[in-house]
Amino acid sequence: GESVGLHLPTLSVQEGDNSIINCAYSNSASDYFIWYKQESGKGPQFIIDIRSNMDKRQGQRVTVLLNKTVKHLSLQIAATQPGDSAVYFCAERTGRRALTFGSGTRLQVQP
Amino acid sequence: NAGVTQTPKFQVLKTGQSMTLQCAQDMNHEYMSWYRQDPGMGLRLIHYSVGAGITDQGEVPNGYNVSRSTTEDFPLRLLSAAPSQTSVYFCASSYLPPTGSGANVLTFGAGSRLTVL
């Protein structure tokens, strides 16, 4: 399979704990923010998105928080499970077209 | 339901060779794009297309060409491979929502690992 990256910031958590993954974005004109999860050997998969006129959105076990004042996005995963181990990317969209991705954070879940 | 299919999964080239990475989607998505992924640098957009006959450059287009003759296919051509193009390449597609509505949620292929010697 395809390796994701060898020099990513890593967050290590115990199974059952909550995880918080942070992301700083660059463009104040971005209208959507999206979190993707990439497991080893696979392409990224959509987790959750949030519009720029919102500051919080919840999904199943995940919550995304948006702070436009400091251009900061976070992904909170409740009751982290071994299957959550992956690299997580935030992405911002400006206009109708391309997404710009962050460099990613590796989440390691310890049993 | 194949989604986004990329071929080949692995390729080794010599400097100066040319090749084409294939991408096909069966979801009738208007939007298709190519990203490269390098260690510690996330995904960088190479080229994208919002429909057949329409292509545009992304963040790192140099050394790559694309075309979009059909809705389904979006091949990426390396004209003269260089070691700096060693990377994992991802094709992604999505519906293209109207401006101001939902995000275009990308569906990614499994990736193609390219090594240029």
Cβ-nearest to A93 among B35, B103, B111 = B103
Report phi then psi at A84, rounded to 5: -85, -10
**Are A104 and B56 in contact (CB < 8 Å)?**
no
- The whole-angstrom separation of Cα B42 and Cα B64 is 19
* Sequence-separated (6 or more) residues with CB below 8 Å from residue B88: A2, A3, B36, B37, B38, B111, B112, B113, B114
Q: What is the tens place of the pLDDT at every residue in A36-78?
A: 999 988 999 999 999 999 999 999 999 999 999 999 999 999 9
- The whole-angstrom separation of Cα A101 and Cα A25 is 9
**Interface with chain A: mutation pick from B104, B107, B115, highest number of A CBs within 10 Å:** B104
Cβ-nearest to B39 among A7, A44, A51 = A7
Cβ-nearest to A32 among B37, B103, B109 = B103
Q: What is the tens place of the pLDDT at every residue in B32-70?
A: 999 999 977 789 999 999 999 999 999 899 999 999 999
